[in-house]
Structure 1
Amino acid sequence: MMEMPARRVLFLQGSIAASSMHGARSRRPAPAAVHINQRELLTNHSEDGGRGQASEAIRAARAGQLDTEQMLGSLLAAQVSIPLAETTVMDGARLLSWKPATVTRDADGEQFVIAFTDGELDQKYAKWRPEYPYRLRVGADWLITVLPAGHGVIINLGGDDIMFEWPARDILAHRADHET
């Protein structure tokens, strides 16, 4: 079996309060990247943070076998891996700045933050876009609270049957419908 190169992955545990995406850099250093073996990440299913289940829920919803709300429930309960150009800038648990990978939809110019629940697609993206060497592993429920204004999220870019494009307006509507 071919040995996979180590990847830089940032893990944030627990809930992080939503904050401004832009702002002054913190005087505190950015969190250090944690080096892990990508092969171990892909084969250690007991610690995948619900990623496999979220990918399967997307697949089932795309095939018409699962309704959208159930798929979103599975996705929002899972961790996602977000490609970053550099480490995040934090003030305690508050995100001050980050540089996630994004794509722009040609038809209307809407921007999407890229995130993955599928490790193989994440690995392919890392090879295709080496300028995003870091990974931020967070709950998808947290991600939708810190997206830059006007940004949606695209899950599993390039995944055909497990790709999910969630526009900003639909995320805002979902958040408004599920506020407690």
Structure 2
Amino acid sequence: MFKNETGVNKVIDDRKGNSYVFMGVSSCGKSTIGAAVAQLLGAKFIDGDDLHPKANIIKMKSGQPLNDDDRAPWLERINDAAFSIEQKNEQGVIVCSSLKKIYREQIRRGNHKVTFIHLYGDFELVKARMQSRADHFMPIELLKSQFDTLEMPTDEPDVIQVSIEGDFEDVIERCLAAIHQRTDV
């Protein structure tokens, strides 16, 4: 839970229509942290991995990185999810790697209440976390391609940088604090 200025636990829930897109390379914690934040916000949770077309899943599982053409229909689905959340005046957490600026721009297109939460850590930290996972379809060999593809969002005002260093609860607190600060709840 996020502690407000008076030290009282508080769930942030008064910014309806907002989508928080948890982004970063595979195994940085997007799904786990995003789901926890969504629960604390009382928000809808959408794991972008569930929106990949079948061909993308098969390609990644076989060890082949996706190209921009592969990602286009997936990013359109992410954009549609954010649009739906805004139009229905809901609040949502969407997980999507959003590695390139053009991908983030595609998600922003036509959406006015999207904020990206960039979960970041160095290669060795993320590699160690990936090696401890058994339930994901992306092989570790593709992690380097994810880091190579990542365009750090240094000049994008709707992107909040959150380090994944430390334990799970610390990362959740940093995410909630950043959202709280951004939305002036």
Tell me the TM-score range normalised by the shorter chain: under 0.3
**Higher normalized contact order (CA 8 Å, seq sep 6+, divided by chain length):** 2
The structure carrying a bigger helix percent of its residues is 2
The structure carrying a bigger strand percent of its residues is 1
Q: Give the structure-1-normalised TM-score.
A: 0.26
Q: Give the structure-2-normalised TM-score.
A: 0.25
